Amino acid sequence: VGMQGVAVAETATQKALAYANDRRQGKAANYNGNGMAPIVHHPDVQRNLLTMKALTQIARAISYSCAHAIDNARISSGDEAAHWQERANLLTPLAKAFSTDVGVEVASFGLQVHGGMGFIEETGAAALYRDARIAPIYEGTNGIQAIDLVTRKLPLGSGEHVHGYIAELKAIANQVRTSNLQGFGRTADALDQALDDLGQATRFLQGLLADGRSDEALAGATPYLRLISLAAGGAYLARGALADQSRVALCRFFAENLLGEAGALKERVIGGAESLAAAGKTLISA
């Protein structure tokens, strides 16, 4: 199901990128050709397309990392097999929920890039958006995946496995900081901040579970799932960029334009339960 989300997102991205290079509208300062510029030259269209590319690559990386953990659990034995099984268990709700959310989100961006042409059936962009919407629902709704992550996966390894995973991601951020590659900008700082936010949110939720305050923990489950996915995804983008300099620009774009969401998600995890419970009472009719 996670790979279905990745596939829809990739298809929507390719379709939108091709359309943006063909469709002409308005003037653009960075276009030197004759007549109207292809819309790919407009900064807002570029932002949409780069967001689509970054989210798609993150969802793919998380899903592949989950598959990698499953394979290693199968071919290993003893403590090593147990470690990889815990890693697969931790990443499974991310691969399912985040990737299918991304499929919907990226397909929606694709419609926006197509404009009015995207809303009709001729381009196929609307069909991708419509078809993507089922994936966060079947095979366990994404809300259930978030509950599973918080209540069953954060306690793995006496609560230490997730912190070991965060430490691995922090090591990637440090590699960026010490790399001689050019073009990373503020990527290392952004990754460090997002991973610090993730660590705080993780410890907070684990504390609530230890105190038996499960309803408060569940109030933050969905924002926590997105937080850990974005933070991990940013590190995965960085790891790819360290191996292939052609990926540095997209990694920096994500870190400096999108990864700041992690801080807001942490605040929702830590400070959102009380207001949610209070407002939730107004919804109950019986």
Question: What is the tens place of the pLDDT at every residue in 82-109?
Answer: 999 999 999 999 999 999 999 999 999 9
Quick one: average pLDDT of 36-40? 92
**Same domain flag for 150 and 51:** no
Q: Is 35 left (phi over 0), alpha (psi -120 to 50) or beta?
A: left
**Same domain flag for 110 and 237:** no
pLDDT tens by residue, 206-238: 999 999 999 999 999 999 999 999 999 999 999
Specify if 281 maps to a domain: no
DSSP symbol at 35:
S
Asked whether residue 167 carries a pLDDT value surpassing 80, the answer given is yes
Quick one: average pLDDT of 28-39? 85
Q: What is the largest CA-CA distance in the chain?
A: 67
**Same domain flag for 15 and 86:** yes
Asked whether residue 31 carries a pLDDT value surpassing 90, the answer given is no
- Where in the sequence is the domain holding 3, given as residue range(s)? 1-140
State the helix-helix crossing angle for 161-178 and 221-243, rounded to 10 degrees. Answer: 40
Specify if 115 maps to a domain: yes
pLDDT value at residue 33:
82
Per cent of the chain over pLDDT 90 is 91
State the helix-helix crossing angle for 43-75 and 99-114, rounded to 10 degrees. Answer: 160
Place 139 in a pLDDT band, splitting at 50, 70 and 90. confident
Asked if 139 is an active-site residue, the reply is yes
Quick one: average pLDDT of 184-195? 98
Specify if 282 maps to a domain: no
- Say how far apart CA 83 and CA 98 lie, in whole Å: 23
Q: What residues form DSSP beta bridges with 24?
A: 38
Going along 162-232, which residue ranges are E strands?
Answer: none
pLDDT value at residue 34:
82
Domain count, the chain: 2
CA distances in angstroms from 26 to 19, 31, 68, 114, 244, listed in the order given:
15, 10, 46, 15, 35
User: What predicted TM-score, i.e. pTM, was given to this entire model?
Assistant: 0.96
Quick one: average pLDDT of 251-266? 98
Among the candidates 82, 115, 140, a domain finishes at: 140
Mean residue pLDDT across the chain: 96
- Say how far apart CA 35 and CA 21 lie, in whole Å: 14
Place 15 in a pLDDT band, splitting at 50, 70 and 90. very high
State the helix-helix crossing angle for 187-210 and 161-178, rounded to 10 degrees. Answer: 170
Asked whether residue 27 carries a pLDDT value surpassing 90, the answer given is no
pLDDT value at residue 26:
86
Write down the catalytic residue from 10, 139, 216, 256. Answer: 139
pLDDT value at residue 75:
97
**Same domain flag for 99 and 154:** no
pLDDT value at residue 28:
82
pLDDT value at residue 123:
84
pLDDT value at residue 121:
73
Asked whether residue 120 carries a pLDDT value surpassing 90, the answer given is no
**Same domain flag for 126 and 4:** yes
**Same domain flag for 162 and 57:** no
Single-letter code of the amino acid located at 32? N
Asked whether residue 286 carries a pLDDT value surpassing 80, the answer given is no
- Say how far apart CA 138 and CA 141 lie, in whole Å: 6
